[in-house]
Structure 1
């Protein structure tokens, strides 16, 4: 029996291999595939609104699956791009599961986001500023492990996921045992500064495929964006998983179970027409 396909899209700065434990837990039921590093193909540069990043995903769906609709699952950046792909090419998509990819609620939040992007304030308040200064090279695997394992931001991560981050989130430099970040800092930085602030307006008119949302109970990003627009887009398909914005790294097996449950829920939904 042919398994349904999940096409997974990763969060900003985290290659798909970092999610190996979560995705592996889905592989017994689904054929799981992914783009390893979104934004690193020069044919799809990072530009305001992520148009080409969306196109990278859509073109991958068309090329790999030849018109067969597949499930899109994405964390953070990947969730946004999955939603954008569903709006652009709904014929390629069965449904979308967004993992803590909160749509900024229209109103004062979107105005503040646009102002922050224009003035540079967003860079100072978001991870973008930290990204630019982040260390990106280590003499060997063990040095990279010791660097990350002692950081508070990684303290809650599942140890297997942290190992996968060293294995897949860093790569050999070709100079002895030295390693560097696999996801280029400059690309990660530009992605943070080119958010699509008007995505909510488009999505709230209606998405022609079912959409579900998994939220972190302690997600700062969700608190900042608000939940109103997301609720309007996903309807009743909203569930919480214990953890921060990075709960797929903190609780990969629980996240996989939540994704599986949400896909089962969405499977009963019918495609719906866009609102006028």
Structure 2
């Protein structure tokens, strides 16, 4: 398998404003950029809004493990090739973590980072989970869930009906849920197929980064929005983030899927942070 970034590029979601900032959005594990249509639309007042697709959407074969720095390197190569200057990185979950890795590795490409519940794991739990994934790569609950995910539906509507019944999506309105369904499933001869395979989703889960040292070395503005009901930035992690003087950390009354549950409020946080830093 070739690991060179050959199929990633910037895709403009909104380019109506030629002045202002260039925002590049990085999506979460399993949630292609189109999932975030409502949230990204609400960012339009800032300027140009672009997205990238991580390699699970353009490389078919999934390894068992893959360091998240590879995704960061993909985006760095894309930004160096296509961006006309430093950009604001906005990322959700996996995308937020990758944004922070980019800011550390290639600060010349970045104005600042806004992370939306980025994957930030307690150091002790991170060590335990990494060991567990190495010893039993297919046994943890989240891995079994990813590998057992339906990859085909008769139609987008049947996929919507399936996800509508799931607790994980209960806080998401119908419009945003259908945005996810259409972004994550492409038409096939006899229905629709999942674009982001369960094997790739599992690979991402098995390879979480340690962001704590990363925070110490980022010299750009960093804003983090945590979900008050998130299973990712849990209270102990939130308390540690609050103590980092170089980070603006706030919370929102939402879960981990905040850009889908509360797109307008989440976009307002991003807009306020970027506008304040640019004045």
Matched, 1:111 2:127: yes
Q: Which of 89, 95, 100 in structure 2 is aligned with 1:78?
A: 95
Matched, 1:12 2:29: yes
Instruction: Give 2:204's aligned residue.
Output: 191
Matched, 1:93 2:110: yes
Structure 2 gap segments, 5+ residues each: 1-17
Counterpart secondary structure, 2:49: strand
- Asked if the contact 2:62–2:203 (Cα under 8 Å) also holds between the matched residues in 1, the reply is no
| Alpha-carbon distance in 2 for matches of 1:102, 1:147 | 26
| Alpha-carbon distance in 1 for matches of 2:119, 2:56 | 20
Instruction: Give 1:57's aligned residue.
Output: 75
Number of residue pairs the alignment of both structures matches: 261
Change in CA separation of 1:135 and 1:91 when aligned onto 2, cut-off 3 Å: same
| Alpha-carbon distance in 2 for matches of 1:225, 1:190 | 26
Instruction: Give 1:48's aligned residue.
Output: 66
Structure 1 length as normaliser, TM-score?
A: 0.86
Instruction: Give 1:271's aligned residue.
Output: none
Matched, 1:167 2:182: yes
Change in CA separation of 1:180 and 1:153 when aligned onto 2, cut-off 3 Å: same
Change in CA separation of 1:40 and 1:168 when aligned onto 2, cut-off 3 Å: closer
1:187, distance to aligned residue in structure 2 (A) = 1.1
Structure 2 length as normaliser, TM-score?
A: 0.85
Per-residue CA deviations over 1:1-30 (Å, capped at 9, x if unaligned) read: 612110000000000000010000111322
Change in CA separation of 1:237 and 1:266 when aligned onto 2, cut-off 3 Å: farther
1:102, distance to aligned residue in structure 2 (A) = 4.2
Counterpart secondary structure, 1:222: coil
Change in CA separation of 1:234 and 1:20 when aligned onto 2, cut-off 3 Å: farther
- Asked if the contact 2:91–2:115 (Cα under 8 Å) also holds between the matched residues in 1, the reply is yes
Change in CA separation of 1:204 and 1:149 when aligned onto 2, cut-off 3 Å: closer
- Asked if the contact 2:221–2:246 (Cα under 8 Å) also holds between the matched residues in 1, the reply is no
1:104, distance to aligned residue in structure 2 (A) = 2.2
1:123, distance to aligned residue in structure 2 (A) = 5.0
Per-residue CA deviations over 1:37-61 (Å, capped at 9, x if unaligned) read: 4433449976532222111111111
Instruction: Give 2:154's aligned residue.
Output: 139
Matched, 1:227 2:242: no
- Asked if the contact 2:226–2:238 (Cα under 8 Å) also holds between the matched residues in 1, the reply is no
| Alpha-carbon distance in 1 for matches of 2:26, 2:139 | 24
Counterpart secondary structure, 1:226: helix
Instruction: Give 2:12's aligned residue.
Output: none
Instruction: Give 1:260's aligned residue.
Output: 271
| Alpha-carbon distance in 1 for matches of 2:89, 2:245 | 14
Structure 1 gap segments, 5+ residues each: 269-276
Instruction: Give 1:274's aligned residue.
Output: none
1:243, distance to aligned residue in structure 2 (A) = 0.9
1:63, distance to aligned residue in structure 2 (A) = 1.3
